[in-house]
Amino acid sequence: MMKMLLKILILLTVLASLPVIAQQAQEFEDYVVHYNALSASLITPEIAKAYGIRRSDSRALINISVLKNTVDQSATAVKAAVTASGRNLTGQTRNVEMREINESDGAIYYIGELSVRNMETFDFTVLVTPEGKKTPFKVKFRQQFYTE
């Protein structure tokens, strides 16, 4: 039940962001890195408890997933080393500790949390190194957060 709720939340988050950003994914060779950042207050209490996420308007959650395209045009979730940092517009940098979540259906997510202020904007840099690769893929994106 919790897994299904998390998947629905992630899907709704991606769908809600479509008008603002056409696609929150970047392709690298035969991999696709999906990313998003949202207020931790949007997570349901049940999901937050199940995954150890601290719900708060002043907390943000970063979500990363890595898929590898196969010859039959399907995509498979893959493990990766993921590091993330965010730099706000005043130049303050925050490293975001990422942790891996493995679902029983094969889905793999990397999530991290950081504190944010109202209308604070972060330029995120995420380095993703899929298993078996030596060179990381670099994903950059900007997100503004609202806490009030």
Q: What is the DSSP letter of 135?
A: S
What's the rounded Cα separation, in Å, for the pair 59 and 61?
Answer: 7
Across the range 119-140, mean pLDDT stands at: 97
Instruction: Please name the fold of domain 2-9+25-145.
Output: Immunoglobulin-like (2.60.40)
Amino acid at 95: N
pLDDT digit string, tens, across residues 80-98? 999 999 999 999 999 999 9
What's the rounded Cα separation, in Å, for the pair 22 and 69?
Answer: 20
The domain spans of the chain are 2-9+25-145
Contact between residue 43 and residue 9 where contact means Cβ atoms under 8 Å apart:
yes
The distance between the two most distant Cα atoms of the chain, rounded to a whole number of Å, is: 47
Across the range 105-127, mean pLDDT stands at: 96
Q: At residue 12, does pLDDT exceed 70?
A: no
